[in-house]
Chains A and B, each alone.
Chain A
Protein backbone atom coordinates (compact mmCIF):
# COMPACT_ATOMS: atom_id res chain seq x y z
CA UNK A 1 0.00 0.00 0.00
CA UNK A 2 1.06 3.56 -0.59
CA UNK A 3 0.70 6.65 1.54
CA UNK A 4 1.58 10.28 1.13
CA UNK A 5 2.43 12.82 3.80
CA UNK A 6 2.26 16.55 3.30
CA UNK A 7 3.54 17.95 6.56
CA UNK A 8 2.55 21.56 5.92
CA UNK A 9 -1.18 22.17 5.81
CA UNK A 10 -0.73 25.88 5.15
CA UNK A 11 2.16 27.83 3.66
CA UNK A 12 1.96 31.63 3.50
CA UNK A 13 4.59 33.31 1.37
CA UNK A 14 5.13 36.80 0.04
CA UNK A 15 4.79 37.50 -3.64
CA UNK A 16 8.00 36.92 -5.64
CA UNK A 17 9.54 34.89 -2.81
CA UNK A 18 10.58 31.26 -3.34
CA UNK A 19 8.47 28.42 -1.98
CA UNK A 20 8.88 24.73 -1.24
CA UNK A 21 5.96 22.43 -0.54
CA UNK A 22 7.03 19.20 1.09
CA UNK A 23 5.86 15.73 0.18
CA UNK A 24 7.02 12.39 1.52
CA UNK A 25 5.70 9.01 0.51
CA UNK A 26 5.91 5.43 1.58
CA UNK A 27 5.53 2.41 -0.63
CA UNK A 28 6.73 -1.15 -0.83
CA UNK A 29 6.84 -1.00 -4.62
CA UNK A 30 8.08 1.40 -7.26
CA UNK A 31 5.84 4.40 -7.72
CA UNK A 32 4.88 7.26 -9.91
CA UNK A 33 4.64 10.66 -8.23
CA UNK A 34 2.44 13.63 -9.04
CA UNK A 35 1.68 17.15 -7.97
CA UNK A 36 -1.76 18.61 -8.62
CA UNK A 37 -3.18 22.08 -8.04
CA UNK A 38 -6.78 22.76 -7.12
CA UNK A 39 -8.35 26.18 -7.37
CA UNK A 40 -11.52 26.88 -5.35
CA UNK A 41 -14.51 24.74 -6.37
CA UNK A 42 -12.61 23.26 -9.28
CA UNK A 43 -11.15 19.89 -10.15
CA UNK A 44 -7.48 19.04 -10.15
CA UNK A 45 -4.93 20.18 -12.67
CA UNK A 46 -1.70 18.27 -13.13
CA UNK A 47 1.37 20.38 -12.38
CA UNK A 48 4.01 17.74 -13.01
CA UNK A 49 4.76 14.08 -12.68
CA UNK A 50 7.68 11.77 -12.17
CA UNK A 51 7.53 8.45 -13.98
CA UNK A 52 11.19 7.64 -14.60
CA UNK A 53 14.42 9.19 -15.80
CA UNK A 54 15.72 12.51 -14.53
CA UNK A 55 14.89 13.09 -10.90
CA UNK A 56 14.33 16.80 -11.49
CA UNK A 57 10.97 17.31 -13.10
CA UNK A 58 9.75 20.58 -14.54
CA UNK A 59 6.07 21.33 -14.77
CA UNK A 60 3.67 24.06 -15.72
CA UNK A 61 3.52 27.56 -14.23
CA UNK A 62 7.22 27.53 -13.36
CA UNK A 63 7.01 24.71 -10.81
CA UNK A 64 9.53 21.93 -10.47
CA UNK A 65 9.98 18.96 -8.18
CA UNK A 66 12.82 16.63 -7.33
CA UNK A 67 12.41 12.94 -6.69
CA UNK A 68 14.69 11.73 -3.91
CA UNK A 69 14.43 7.98 -3.59
CA UNK A 70 16.66 7.67 -0.53
CA UNK A 71 14.57 10.21 1.36
CA UNK A 72 11.31 9.09 -0.24
CA UNK A 73 10.50 12.70 -0.99
CA UNK A 74 9.08 14.66 -3.91
CA UNK A 75 9.15 18.30 -2.83
CA UNK A 76 7.61 20.96 -5.04
CA UNK A 77 9.45 24.25 -5.60
CA UNK A 78 9.01 27.55 -7.36
CA UNK A 79 11.69 30.26 -7.31
CA UNK A 80 9.27 33.20 -7.41
CA UNK A 81 5.56 32.91 -6.66
CA UNK A 82 2.71 35.02 -7.99
CA UNK A 83 -0.64 35.92 -6.48
CA UNK A 84 -2.25 33.55 -8.96
CA UNK A 85 -0.40 30.61 -7.38
CA UNK A 86 -2.68 30.82 -4.34
CA UNK A 87 -4.41 27.43 -4.31
CA UNK A 88 -4.44 23.99 -2.75
CA UNK A 89 -1.63 21.68 -3.80
CA UNK A 90 -1.82 17.92 -3.59
CA UNK A 91 0.95 15.39 -3.82
CA UNK A 92 -0.11 11.97 -5.06
CA UNK A 93 1.41 8.56 -5.68
CA UNK A 94 0.43 5.55 -7.72
CA UNK A 95 2.11 2.20 -8.05
CA UNK A 96 3.53 1.12 -11.38
CA UNK A 97 0.86 -0.39 -13.57
CA UNK A 98 -1.98 1.27 -11.71
CA UNK A 99 -3.91 4.45 -12.28
CA UNK A 100 -5.60 4.98 -8.94
CA UNK A 101 -3.93 7.75 -7.02
CA UNK A 102 -3.33 8.10 -3.31
CA UNK A 103 -3.35 11.71 -2.26
CA UNK A 104 -1.75 13.63 0.55
CA UNK A 105 -3.87 15.88 2.70
CA UNK A 106 -2.93 18.94 0.69
CA UNK A 107 -1.08 22.18 1.33
CA UNK A 108 -2.83 25.52 1.10
CA UNK A 109 -0.41 27.98 -0.49
CA UNK A 110 -1.32 31.59 0.14
CA UNK A 111 0.66 34.25 -1.67
CA UNK A 112 0.67 37.55 0.16
CA UNK A 113 0.92 40.77 -1.87
Chain B
Protein backbone atom coordinates (compact mmCIF):
# COMPACT_ATOMS: atom_id res chain seq x y z
CA UNK B 1 0.00 0.00 0.00
CA UNK B 2 0.90 3.65 -0.23
CA UNK B 3 3.04 5.23 2.47
CA UNK B 4 2.26 8.38 4.39
CA UNK B 5 4.98 9.75 6.63
CA UNK B 6 4.25 12.11 9.48
CA UNK B 7 6.92 14.09 11.30
CA UNK B 8 7.71 14.51 14.11
CA UNK B 9 6.32 11.49 15.92
CA UNK B 10 6.61 13.23 19.27
CA UNK B 11 7.04 16.85 20.21
CA UNK B 12 7.07 18.71 23.50
CA UNK B 13 6.73 22.48 23.41
CA UNK B 14 6.26 25.33 25.81
CA UNK B 15 2.93 27.02 26.19
CA UNK B 16 2.62 29.97 23.81
CA UNK B 17 4.92 28.60 21.12
CA UNK B 18 3.94 27.22 17.72
CA UNK B 19 4.48 23.72 16.44
CA UNK B 20 4.51 22.50 12.85
CA UNK B 21 3.60 18.93 11.91
CA UNK B 22 4.37 17.58 8.45
CA UNK B 23 2.47 14.96 6.51
CA UNK B 24 4.05 13.55 3.36
CA UNK B 25 2.80 11.05 0.83
CA UNK B 26 5.99 9.23 -0.10
CA UNK B 27 5.06 7.26 -3.18
CA UNK B 28 1.92 8.87 -4.53
CA UNK B 29 0.43 12.26 -5.17
CA UNK B 30 -2.28 13.11 -2.69
CA UNK B 31 -4.90 15.47 -3.98
CA UNK B 32 -6.60 15.47 -0.61
CA UNK B 33 -5.20 15.27 2.90
CA UNK B 34 -7.07 15.06 6.17
CA UNK B 35 -6.08 16.03 9.68
CA UNK B 36 -7.54 14.25 12.68
CA UNK B 37 -7.17 14.75 16.39
CA UNK B 38 -7.43 12.00 18.94
CA UNK B 39 -7.92 12.62 22.65
CA UNK B 40 -6.83 9.96 25.12
CA UNK B 41 -9.06 6.90 25.00
CA UNK B 42 -11.31 8.55 22.45
CA UNK B 43 -11.90 8.28 18.75
CA UNK B 44 -10.44 10.31 15.95
CA UNK B 45 -12.16 13.54 15.15
CA UNK B 46 -11.77 15.10 11.74
CA UNK B 47 -10.33 18.60 12.05
CA UNK B 48 -10.00 19.69 8.46
CA UNK B 49 -9.75 18.61 4.86
CA UNK B 50 -7.13 20.15 2.63
CA UNK B 51 -6.91 20.05 -1.13
CA UNK B 52 -3.70 20.89 -2.90
CA UNK B 53 -3.53 24.53 -3.86
CA UNK B 54 -6.67 25.64 -2.08
CA UNK B 55 -7.75 26.64 1.39
CA UNK B 56 -8.52 23.94 3.91
CA UNK B 57 -12.08 23.18 4.91
CA UNK B 58 -12.41 23.09 8.68
CA UNK B 59 -14.93 21.10 10.65
CA UNK B 60 -17.32 22.93 12.92
CA UNK B 61 -15.71 23.95 16.18
CA UNK B 62 -12.13 23.86 14.88
CA UNK B 63 -10.38 27.22 15.07
CA UNK B 64 -8.82 27.88 11.68
CA UNK B 65 -6.59 30.63 13.06
CA UNK B 66 -5.19 28.29 15.66
CA UNK B 67 -4.73 25.24 13.47
CA UNK B 68 -3.15 26.48 10.27
CA UNK B 69 -3.13 24.00 7.43
CA UNK B 70 -1.07 24.37 4.29
CA UNK B 71 -1.20 21.96 1.35
CA UNK B 72 1.30 23.55 -0.97
CA UNK B 73 2.16 20.48 -3.01
CA UNK B 74 0.66 17.12 -3.92
CA UNK B 75 2.96 15.36 -1.48
CA UNK B 76 3.06 17.66 1.53
CA UNK B 77 0.58 19.11 3.95
CA UNK B 78 1.46 20.85 7.18
CA UNK B 79 -0.50 21.55 10.33
CA UNK B 80 0.74 24.37 12.52
CA UNK B 81 -0.61 24.65 16.03
CA UNK B 82 -0.19 28.33 16.85
CA UNK B 83 0.24 29.66 20.37
CA UNK B 84 -0.14 26.19 21.77
CA UNK B 85 -1.69 25.63 25.18
CA UNK B 86 -1.80 22.52 27.37
CA UNK B 87 -5.34 21.76 26.19
CA UNK B 88 -3.93 21.35 22.68
CA UNK B 89 -1.97 18.35 23.86
CA UNK B 90 -3.24 15.46 21.82
CA UNK B 91 -2.42 12.86 19.17
CA UNK B 92 -2.66 14.32 15.68
CA UNK B 93 -2.96 12.04 12.66
CA UNK B 94 -3.00 12.86 8.99
CA UNK B 95 -4.27 10.83 6.09
CA UNK B 96 -3.87 11.22 2.37
CA UNK B 97 -5.79 10.00 -0.63
CA UNK B 98 -5.58 10.15 -4.38
CA UNK B 99 -9.06 11.58 -4.63
CA UNK B 100 -12.70 10.70 -4.36
CA UNK B 101 -13.68 7.10 -3.85
CA UNK B 102 -10.12 6.06 -3.16
CA UNK B 103 -8.61 4.72 0.01
CA UNK B 104 -7.08 7.10 2.53
CA UNK B 105 -3.69 6.15 3.99
CA UNK B 106 -2.75 7.23 7.48
CA UNK B 107 0.46 8.62 8.88
CA UNK B 108 2.00 7.34 12.09
CA UNK B 109 0.62 10.21 14.13
CA UNK B 110 2.24 12.97 16.20
CA UNK B 111 2.03 13.08 19.97
CA UNK B 112 1.99 16.76 20.97
CA UNK B 113 2.55 17.69 24.58
CA UNK B 114 2.33 21.32 25.59
CA UNK B 115 3.87 22.16 28.94
Residues of A within 8 A of B (CB): 36, 41-46, 49, 90, 96-106
CA–CA, A89 to B49, complex, Å? 23
Partner of B43, one of A45, A90, A98, A100: A90
Complex interface: chain B residues within 8 A of A97 (CB): 100-101
Report the nearest B residue to A36, measured CB to CB. B106
Asked whether, in the complex, the Cβ of A104 is within 8 Å of the Cβ of B43, the reply is yes
Report the nearest A residue to B32, measured CB to CB. A99
Residues of B within 8 A of A (CB): 1, 4, 6, 9, 32, 34, 42-46, 49, 91, 93, 95, 97, 99-109, 111
| 5 more A-B residue pairs beyond the given contacts A43-B93, A45-B106, with a C-beta to C-beta distance below 8 A | A41-B9, A43-B107, A46-B1, A99-B99, A101-B46
B28 CB, nearest partner CB in chain A, Å: 14
CA–CA, A105 to B42, complex, Å? 6
CA–CA, A28 to B88, complex, Å? 33
CA–CA, A104 to B109, complex, Å? 18
B108 CB, nearest partner CB in chain A, Å: 4
Given contacts A99-B32, A99-B97, A100-B34, whether A46 and B49 have CB atoms under 8 Å apart is no
Asked whether, in the complex, the Cβ of B103 is within 8 Å of the Cβ of A49, the reply is yes
Complex interface: chain A residues within 8 A of B4 (CB): 43
Asked whether, in the complex, the Cβ of B106 is within 8 Å of the Cβ of A44, the reply is yes
Asked whether, in the complex, the Cβ of A101 is within 8 Å of the Cβ of B104, the reply is yes
A43 CB, nearest partner CB in chain B, Å: 4
Asked whether, in the complex, the Cβ of A41 is within 8 Å of the Cβ of B100, the reply is no
CA–CA, A103 to B45, complex, Å? 7
* 23 pairs, A vs B, C-beta closer than 8 Å: A41-B9, A41-B109, A42-B109, A43-B93, A43-B106, A43-B107, A44-B95, A45-B106, A46-B105, A90-B44, A97-B101, A99-B49, A99-B97, A99-B100, A99-B102, A99-B104, A100-B34, A100-B49, A101-B44, A101-B104, A103-B45, A105-B42, A106-B42
CA–CA, A99 to B103, complex, Å? 7
CA–CA, A76 to B11, complex, Å? 34
9 closest A-B pairs by beta carbon, nearest first, are A44-B106, A43-B106, A43-B108, A103-B43, A105-B43, A99-B97, A43-B109, A103-B44, A97-B100
